[in-house]
Amino acid sequence: MQPSVNVVSLVSVGRHPQSDRSRRADQDARAVELGLKLAGKNLTLVHAGDPENPVLRQYAGMGLDAFTVLRQKSYSDVLPIIGNFLTENNAHVVLMGIRAESGESSGMLPYLLAEKLGWPLLSRVADILHVENGKADVLLALPRGQRRAVTVSLPFIATVDNAAKDARQSAYGPGIRASITVLDAEQTADNMAASWAISPAKPRAKRMKVVKAKNAADRFKAATAKPVGGGGNVLKQGTPAEKAQAIFDLLLEEKVIR
Amino acid sequence: MMFDWLTPTLIAVLLVLAGIGAVRRMNLWRAGQADKVDLIAGLMAMPKRYLHDLHHVVERDKYISRTHVATGGGFVLAMLLVVFVHLFGVDSKVLAWLLLAALVMMFYGAVFVFKRRLNPPSRLSKGPWMRLPKSLLTFSITFFVLTLPAAGVLPEGFGGGLLTVVLSFCILASLVEMLFGMTWGGPMKHAFAGALHLAFHRRPERFGGGRSTGLKAAVLGETSHGVAKPTDFKWNQLLGFDACVQCGRCEAVCPAFAAGQPLNPKKLIQDMVVGFAGGTDEKYAGSPYPNVEVGNAKGGPDQIITDGLIHPDTLWSCTTCRACVEECPMMIEHVDAIVDMRRFLTLEKGDTPNKGAQVLENIIATDNPNGFSPSSRTHWAADQNLNLMKDVQQADVLFWVSDGAFDMRSQRILRAFVKLLKAANVDVAILGDEELDSGDVARRLGDDATFQNLAKRNLAILSQYRFKTIVTTDPHAFHCLRNEYADFDSDLNALASVEVLHHTTFLNRLVQEGRLQLDTFKGGKVTYHDPCYLGRYNGEYDAPRELLASLGIDVAEMERSGYRSRCCGGGGGAPITDIPGERRIADMRMEDVVSTGAELVAVGCQQCTAMLEGVVEPRPVVKDIAEILAGQLIEEAH
Ligand code: SF4
Ligand code: SF4
C-alpha cells in the first residue's frame, strides 16, 4: 500500500467484563491490529481523554513507538475534536471498535463522525484487503461467518467487527517506552452526560430458547449462530436504481417514511 | 640429548599460549553484564566448593567420581610438578618421585575414563571428548618416561633417536590438549572455566548445602528487558555456560527432552557458548534437540539469540522443573538462563506462544489466569465457615488458597485441608477476595512486570494483618511467597517474621503434636510423586513421606523420586505454551507410577493432580495428601 495513505485507529479505555477493571478494549484492539496490517509502524494511534491512563500503553505495546492523545476531561464531547483532528491530519482510513466498553457505549460515535465529516461509514468490517488508487477493498462481517465484499473510496470510517483478526499480544517494554504526543484540544463539555446518574447494569433475563432440533448439527447451529431476522430479501440482481426502489418501498411499508 | 631444551621449551610455549587463551576467554565473559561478586572470597572458597559441593553431585555416579578424583587430582599435581621438574629443572629426587606417583594416579584414572568411552551412553558428547582419554593416557605415560631419569631410575640420555622423536610428538600432543585446549575451547576448558565458575557463581548460597532457587528480579523500565543477545547475560552466567563438561546428566533427566519436545538442556548450554563465542553449532557432538538437525544454528555475542541460534519453542518447552540444575555437576543454572530469554520474548516481543498471551492478559485484568471474576474467588468456601482476615485482622495461621479456588478439582483439596485444620482446632483465616494470583505463572512465562506488580500488591495486603504462619496447598505459590517475594518486601516487611509452609509440612507438625486422630490406611499400595516446586525448589522431601507413614503407608518409591523426581509436566507455564512433542510428560510420569504397582499416587500439588489425572484411564487414582488424610480422619462425636 502507498505510504501516502494515512491510517488512523481510534481507541478508548475498555473495561473487563468480569473485573470491571480498565483494559485494552477488545474491538478497539482489533482496530489497531487491522491498522498495523495496513500501515505498520506508520499507523496513527489516537485517543481522546486522559493521557496519563496506563491502559493506553497496552495499545502502544502492540508495536507502536508513539501515539497521540487529545486531552479531554471526563464528560466532554469528543466528537468535535476528533473530527477536527482527522481533517487536519488528512486521515484516509479511520478504524475503531463498534462501541466502547465503558461510558455511554452507545455506538454512535462512528455515525456522528461520518455525518460530521461527510465520509462513508462501513460498519462491522472483518478485514480490509487492500487500499489502492484512492479505493479500498473491504470485507464486511455478516452473521454465520458470511462476508460481503465492498469497494469504497477514501476517506472513510470503519468499525471493526469481532470477526476481524484477534489483537496481537501487547508487549510491556515497547508499551512503556512509547512516546505520547499530547494535544490540548478545546473542550466541549457534555453537560447532559455529566448530569446522568450511572449505575451498574443488571443482566436482563434471557428468554429461554426452545430448540426443536433433531440432530447434533442442528443443535450446534442453533447454539452458535447469530440470530438472523426471518424476513427481508437479499438483493443480488438488478440495477442500483431497482435496489434503491426496493429499499424505498420497504421504508414506506414499514412506515419509516411517509 | 635434545630433551634438554625441547621439553622445557614446549612446556613454556604452551603455557604462554594457554595464558593468552585464558585472557581471550575472560574477555569473552567480560562482554556480559556486570554482576556483584566478591572476587577474593570466591577464589578463597573455590577449593572447598570444588571438593565439597561439586563432588557431592559427582558422587551420585560413583564410577565417575572416583575416576575424576584420580585423573583430575593426578593431573593438577602432576602439572605443577612438571613445571618444577621439567621447566625450571629443579633437581630433586623427591619431587621427581612425587611426580611419578601423581602420574601413576592420573594414568590409573585415565584408564577408567578410557573404559567409559569404549561404549559411551548416549547422553555423553562424542567428538573431541572421545579423544580426551587418549590424551590423558599419553600425557601420563610420556611424562612418566621423561621423569624416570630425574628420579634416577634410568640414566640421563637413555633411549635412541626413534624414542626421542616419538616422545617429542607425545609431549606436543598431550600438552596441546591439556594446556592449549584448556583455554582455547578444548574439552579441558571445563577445568579452567569450571574452577572460576565455582569461585564466581551467581548463587553462592548454593554452596555448603544451601538452596537458592528463587528467580532474580528483572530490572524494569530499561531500554530492553530480559536477555536478547548473549552479552545481555551477566558475565558470570557466560562463565557458567563455559564450565559445561557435556556429561549430559541434565539431558538424561530432562522431561521435555524425554517427551521429544525440542529441548535438550545440554545443547542449550552449548548453544549459549556458541552464542557468546560466535560461530555455529556444527562441531557439537552430542544429542540434538529432538527432531532438530544440528549444524544450522548461528550466533554471535551481539546477535539476537532467537534469530538463528535457538528456536523460541526450545525455550518454551521447559517446565522449569530444575531437574537439570539439580543434576549438573558443574552447578550450571539452566532455568535462570531460560527464563531470562523468555523475558525478552514476552516483555519485548509480545510473543508468548499459544494460550500464553491470553493467560497473561487475564492475570493482568482479573488477577487470575482464567479471567474469572475476582469477586468469585471465595465462592468455593461458601459452606466452609472460614474467617476472613478482613474481619478478624489476626490469626495464628493464614491459609493461602491460591488460584485452585477457581478450579473444581482443586477445591476438593482445599476442602480436605480445611477439614483437617478444623479437626485440629487451628486458628486460621483466609484473605478471601483480597488474595491475588501469586504471579508464579506470569513470572515463569517471562512477564516479570506482572509478577512484580502482583507480588507488591499481595504484600501490601498481607502487611495489613497479623499472623505467624502462612500455609498453602500450592507449591508454586509456596515458592513465590517463601523465596521470591522477599526481593519486594524490604519496605513493608510483610513476611519478614512469618513462617511460610507447605500444607504437608504443617500437617506433619499437627500429626506429630497429636492434634489429628488418624485411622490406618488400608487401601493397597501407594506411591508418592514429589512436586518439583516442593522438592527441588524447597527441599521438602520428608514431611509428605512422614505423613503417609503416619497412616501406616509404606511408600512404594518410584525409581525417580526425591531430588530426582520426574516433573508432571505442569510447571513453568508448559501446559499453557503447549509445545508439541512425541509424548506427554504426564503420561511418562504415570508410567513411572504404574511400574511401582501402586493403586494410588499421593501428591502434594493441585497442578500435579490436574496433570496426572489428565492421563487416560485405567490408571492409578491420584489424590493430594490432604485428601488422603481427610479420608482417614477419626472425627470425634460432639
Ligand atoms: S550442563 Fe551440566 S549436566 Fe548438563 S552436560 Fe553440562 S555439565 Fe553436564
Ligand atoms: S528445568 Fe526441567 S524441563 Fe527445563 S531444561 Fe531443566 S530438566 Fe528440562
Note the pLDDT tens digit of each residue in B389-437: 999 999 999 999 999 999 999 999 999 999 999 999 999 999 999 999 9
Same domain, B504 and B569: no
Which of B347, B356, B367 has the CB atom closest to A172's CB atom? B347
- For residue B578, the CA-to-ligand 1 centroid distance in Å is 25
Atom 7, ligand 1: which residue's CA is nearest? B244
Name the CATH topology of A7-191: Rossmann fold (3.40.50)
**Domain boundary, last residue among B171, B198, B225:** B198
The domain in which residue B21 lies consists of 3-198
Instruction: Give the domain ranges of chain A.
Output: 7-191
Domain count, chain B: 4
- Tell me, yes or no, whether B499 lies in a domain: yes
Q: Quick check: is B76 in a domain?
A: yes
pLDDT over threshold 80, residue A211: no
pLDDT over 80 (residue A143)? yes
Chain B contact set for A21 (CB, 8 A): 365-366
The verdict on residue B599 lying in a domain is yes
Is B366's CB within 8 Å of A21's CB?
yes
Q: Are residues B147 and B286 in the same domain?
A: no
Higher per-residue pLDDT: B141 or A204: B141
Res B637: pLDDT: 56
Pair (B14, B162) in one structural domain = yes
Task: Please give the pLDDT value at position A230.
Answer: 63
Could you say which of B291, B314, B348 is where a domain stops?
B348
The strand pairing partners of B95, in sequence order, are none
A143 compared with B606, residue with greater pLDDT: B606
| pLDDT recorded at residue A254 | 85
Which pLDDT does position A145 carry in this prediction?
86
Over residues A215-244, the pLDDT tens digits come to 888 888 777 776 666 667 778 888 989 999
| Percentage above 70 pLDDT, chain B | 98
B589 located within any domain: yes
**B203: in domain:** no
List, as own/partner pairs, every contact residues B538-541 make where C-beta atoms lie below 8 angstroms and the sequence separation is at least 24, other chains included: B538/B211, B538/B213, B538/B475, B538/B478, B538/B479, B538/B482, B538/B483, B538/B502, B539/B211, B540/B502, B540/B504, B540/B505
Domain boundary among B466, B495, B511: B511
AA identity, residue B135: S
Q: What is the mean pLDDT of residues B495-519?
A: 95
- Report the chain A residue with the minimal C-alpha distance to residue B344: A173
Residue B362 lies in a domain: no
| Burial letters B609-619, b for 16+ CB under 10 A, else e | bbbbbbbeeeb
What is the spatial distance between Cα B32 and Cα B235, in angstroms, rounded to a whole number? 4
Average pLDDT over residues B243-269: 96
Per-residue pLDDT at B97 exceeds 70: yes
pLDDT surpassing 60 at residue B358: yes
> Are residues B177 and B139 located together in one domain of the fold?
yes
- Alpha-carbon distance A165 to nearest alpha carbon in chain B (angstroms): 15
Query: What number of helices (H) and strands (E) belong to chain A?
Result: 8, 11
pLDDT mean over B434-454: 97
Residue B361 lies in a domain: no
CATH number of the domain where residue B477 is located:
3.40.50
For the stretch A108-121, pLDDT in tens is: 999 999 999 999 99
* pLDDT reported for residue B1: 46
Q: What is the mean pLDDT of residues B337-341?
A: 97
User: Domain check: are B156 and B66 in the same one?
Assistant: yes
Using an 8 Å CB-CB cutoff, list chain A residues near B348.
Answer: 171-174
User: Following DSSP, what letter does each residue of B340-353 receive, concatenated?
Assistant: HHHHIIIIIT---T
pLDDT of residue B159: 66
| C-beta separation of B42 from B205 below 8 A | no
Do residues B507 and B519 share a domain? no
CB contact under 8 A, A23 and B223: no
- For chain B, the distance separating the N- and C-terminal CA atoms, rounded to the nearest angstrom, is 101
Say if B207 falls within a structural domain.
Answer: no
Residues A94-108 pLDDT 10s: 999 999 998 888 899
SS3 B213: coil
pLDDT digits (tens, 9 = 90+) for A23-37: 999 999 999 999 999
Q: Is the pLDDT of residue A213 over 80?
A: no
What are the backbone angles phi and psi of residue A60, rounded to the nearest 5°? -60, -35
- Are the beta carbons of A168 and B221 separated by less than 8 Å? no
B179 and B32 belong to one structural domain:
yes
Residue B158 has pLDDT above 80, yes or no: no
CATH value at residue B291:
1.10.1060
Residues B139 and B40 in one domain: yes
Mean pLDDT computed over every residue of chain B:
93
Task: Quote the percentage of chain A above a pLDDT of 90.
Answer: 61
Decide whether any atom of ligand 2 lies within 6 Å of the B335 Cβ: yes
